[in-house]
């Protein structure tokens, strides 16, 4: 009988033997692998923490104690042990479980967590809160109180917020456990001096002699008297594995390990001792990312978060061949090639990414231009400041970063780049709705943030030629920050037969020349009944919507290209012609491209009542396929079509050669502005 389907509550695993726990671990791995093969998802990170998650639930009562995840994409085993096995088949969709901790799913998930470095700080907050509430564990006064555990990875421990958390964790006068999952990887190979420290630690043979010297060691670390006292409360296993050279000792945390993160007996023994220690501790656990399958262990970066894949077993052997399913050429791949071409043509171009060389496409540049391309690790703030320093030295820095992670470096974009007038260039991958990763990863606010910074220029790509055009424009833009945003999607080939004109600051591109109010009048063109100004890839849904409502409604469609500055000449021409405008963007409606159009019209003294804004609502959109999310937001072809019909009510078509009405004569309607 299979064990996993019978687990509805983690308390059940405490009745299992070690052999049964190991059997359950194998079932969890197989279930995760089988599901991700169908839907995609985070594979290697979850395979690496199966035994560790089992041991945490075996030792701690996490319906009462606190478990704070740092990197949430390691939560699948935790979810399967907390009653969510039936939801696995709907992984990363609205019908199943999300790929990250979600308090809406279960009380075992304390925070929605999708970014790194936050777990220690939120755990410190809960530890202090439980103390204030008199609910904290104390071995003498409250042995039934709440314990606090946070799970963090070796790559995210170097994040600035994690450092701040450690600095405060060391001041706690109560139980507090940081479990460091050290797998030698983040998404790709960790970077920096701390990563090198862990590399040396893994190769060290120091630990064989630790038991003999452990007691003396504790007398010499910062806070030594407190830790020396705590030492006497630990068991023999912990005493034997105290690490005298541990970096964390300088923060005042007793440090134990490293221990084997795939040995259930060892994990249970050490966690049982750490559970009752009344001082903050780091338990250093070594794991293998992708554990359990040869293909995911050997290529853990590739299988960090793969799309759906197929496995082919070689009959009569244990060999397995895996093929990832591809939906076509992605924007990330297109960016990788364009960036390398840019670097080959201009030796002043440099690039960096924050722990996402494969995810952003910078890995190709790192191979071809190792002296001008860097992975800084999970530290977006540092990466942006480093780019500012390079710009100050006369280089042309391009920072490739997911839109959702850029917001972590907004302060640096403001202070060290924009305020200095430095031309740092931002390549915002995964802009807009991201599909299965859901709300924690949507790139929904980059336009709103960047629009606040003077001299900043914000562009969007709609396909590969326009992406190349935007990057070339940014290469020569020296007045301040520039940014290009593009989605987690395949590039469209719809316009490849047309010439992609160069980017000009603040100028849109008309994709329906017969309705171009700026150029088509002399050719006998007809003004549109409705104009769509689409920022980025929603332009293709706008074209589909325009075809769907024709010939009843004539629609002019523009690739807006710039959210800052917007094309004021085009906006003025349309509104003075009495043409209602529908703006569309894969970004929040609050402060985005549509807001920029509305503000520009108001500043020109034009009637704004015929402007309809479409974008992401002022609400969270959760995990689902990207196409479903676009429909939910009303920015797919059907949603745009509905807006076109609404905008066209009472709007006759007019030849462009007719006299232009005054703005005051434009049709009005309170329903126009949303």
Active-site residue numbers? 289, 380, 408
Residue 346 contacts by C-beta under 8 Å, 6 or more apart in sequence? Answer: 396, 475
Note whether 528 and 651 are within 8 A (CB): no
Rounded to an integer, what is the distance from CA 370 to the centroid of its chain?
25
Tokens, residue 406: 């850029």
Collapsed DSSP state (helix, strand, coil) of residue 661: coil
Sequence-ordered alpha helix ranges (H) in 219-370 = 224-231, 236-240, 264-275, 294-298, 331-345, 357-360, 362-368
Helix ranges (H only) for 537-663 are 538-549, 568-576, 593-603, 626-633, 637-648
Sorted by sequence, the CB contacts under 8 Å of residue 172 that are 6+ apart come out as 124, 127, 128, 279, 280
Helix (H), strand (E) at residue 428: strand 425-429
C-alpha span between 366 and 352 (Å, rounded): 9
Report the distance separating Cα 592 and Cα 670, nearest Å: 21
Among 404, 398, 411, 484, CA closest to 453:
411
Question: Distance (Å, rounded) from C-alpha 418 to C-alpha 242?
Answer: 47
User: Considering just the CA atoms, what is the radius of gyration of the chain in Å?
Assistant: 28
3-state helix, strand, coil in the chain (%, to 5): 45, 15, 40
* 360 and 429 Cβ atoms separated by less than 8 Å: yes
What region, left, alpha or beta, does residue 329 occupy, with left being phi > 0 and alpha being psi -120 to 50 degrees? beta
Q: How far apart are CA 672 and CA 640, in angstroms?
A: 14
621 SS3 class: coil
**DSSP strands (E only) in 134-289:** 148-153, 176-182, 254-260, 280-286
Q: Report yes or no: 582 and 532 within 8 Å, Cβ to Cβ.
A: yes
Q: Among residues 589, 557, 572, 402, which one has the least CA distance to residue 485?
A: 402
**416-421 long-range CB contacts below 8 Å, 24 or more apart?**
416/384, 416/385, 416/388, 417/384, 417/387, 417/388, 417/391, 417/480, 417/481, 418/453, 418/454, 418/455, 418/456, 418/480, 418/481, 420/388, 420/392, 421/455, 421/479, 421/480
């Amino acid at each position: 009988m299979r064990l996993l389907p019978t687990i509805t509550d983690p308390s059940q695993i405490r009745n299992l033997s070690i052999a049964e726990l190991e059997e359950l671990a194998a079932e969890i791995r197989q279930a995760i692998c089988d599901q991700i093969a169908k839907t995609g998802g985070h594979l290697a990170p979850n395979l690496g923490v199966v035994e560790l998650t089992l041991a945490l639930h075996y030792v701690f009562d996490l319906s009462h104690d606190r478990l704070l995840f740092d990197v949430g994409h390691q939560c699948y085993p935790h979810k399967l042990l907390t009653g969510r096995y039936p939801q696995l088949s709907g992984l990363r969709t609205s019908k199943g479980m999300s790929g990250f901790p979600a308090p809406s799913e279960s009380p075992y998930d304390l925070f929605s967590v999708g970014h790194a470095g936050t777990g220690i700080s939120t755990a410190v907050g809960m530890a202090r809160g439980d103390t204030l509430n008199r609910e904290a564990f104390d071995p003498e006064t409250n042995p039934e109180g709440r314990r606090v555990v946070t799970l963090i990875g070796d790559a995210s421990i170097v994040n600035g917020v994690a450092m701040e958390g450690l600095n405060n964790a060391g001041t706690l006068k109560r139980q507090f456990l940081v479990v460091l999952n050290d797998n030698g990887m983040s998404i790709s190979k960790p970077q920096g001096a701390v990563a090198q420290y862990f590399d040396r630690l893994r190769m060290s043979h120091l630990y064989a002699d630790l038991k003999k010297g452990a007691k003396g060691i504790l007398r010499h670390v910062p806070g030594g008297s407190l830790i020396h006292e705590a030492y006497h409360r630990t068991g023999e296993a912990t005493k034997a594995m105290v690490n005298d050279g541990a970096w964390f000792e300088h923060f005042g945390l007793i440090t134990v390990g490293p221990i084997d993160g795939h040995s259930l007996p060892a994990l249970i023994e050490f966690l049982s001792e750490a559970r009752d220690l009344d001082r903050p501790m780091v338990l250093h656990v070594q794991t293998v990312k992708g554990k359990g399958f040869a293909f995911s262990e050997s290529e853990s970066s590739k299988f960090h978060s793969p799309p759906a894949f197929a496995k082919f077993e070689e009959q009569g052997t244990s060999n397995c061949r895996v093929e990832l399913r591809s939906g076509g050429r992605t924007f990330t791949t297109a960016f990788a090639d364009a960036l390398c071409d840019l670097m080959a043509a201009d030796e002043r171009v440099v690039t960096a990414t924050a722990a996402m060389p494969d995810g952003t496409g910078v890995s190709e540049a790192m191979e071809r231009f190792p002296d001008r391309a860097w992975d800084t690790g999970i530290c977006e703030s540092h990466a942006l400041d480093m780019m500012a320093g390079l710009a100050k030295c006369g280089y042309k820095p391009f920072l490739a970063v997911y839109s959702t992670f850029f917001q972590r470096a907004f302060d640096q974009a403001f202070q060290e780049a924009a305020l200095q007038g430095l031309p740092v260039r931002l390549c915002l991958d995964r802009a807009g709705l991201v599909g299965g990763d859901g709300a924690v990863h949507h790139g929904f606010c980059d336009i709103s943030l960047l629009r606040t910074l003077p001299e900043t220029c914000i562009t969007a790509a709609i396909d590969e030629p326009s992406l190349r055009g935007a990057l070339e424009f940014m290469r020569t833009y020296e007045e301040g920050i520039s940014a290009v945003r593009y989605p987690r999607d395949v590039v469209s080939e719809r316009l490849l037969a047309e010439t992609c004109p160069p980017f000009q600051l603040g100028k849109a591109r008309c994709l329906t020349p017969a309705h171009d109010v700026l150029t088509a009048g002399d050719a006998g063109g007809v003004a549109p009944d409705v104009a769509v100004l689409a920022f980025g890839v929603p332009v293709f849904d706008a074209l589909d919507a325009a075809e769907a409502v024709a010939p009843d409604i004539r629609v002019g469609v523009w690739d807006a290209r710039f959210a800052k500055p917007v094309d004021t000449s085009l906006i003025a021409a349309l509104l003075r012609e009495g043409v209602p405008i529908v703006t569309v963007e894969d970004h929040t409606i609050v402060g985005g491209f549509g807001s920029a159009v509305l503000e520009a019209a108001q500043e020109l003294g034009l009637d704004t009542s015929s402007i309809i804004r479409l974008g992401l609502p002022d609400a969270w959109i959760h995990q689902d396929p990207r196409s479903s999310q676009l429909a939910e937001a009303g920015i797919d072809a059907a949603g745009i079509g509905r807006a076109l019909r609404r905008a066209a009510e009472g709007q006759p078509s007019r030849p462009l050669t007719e006299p232009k009405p005054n703005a005051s004569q434009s049709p009005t309607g309170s329903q126009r502005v949303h």
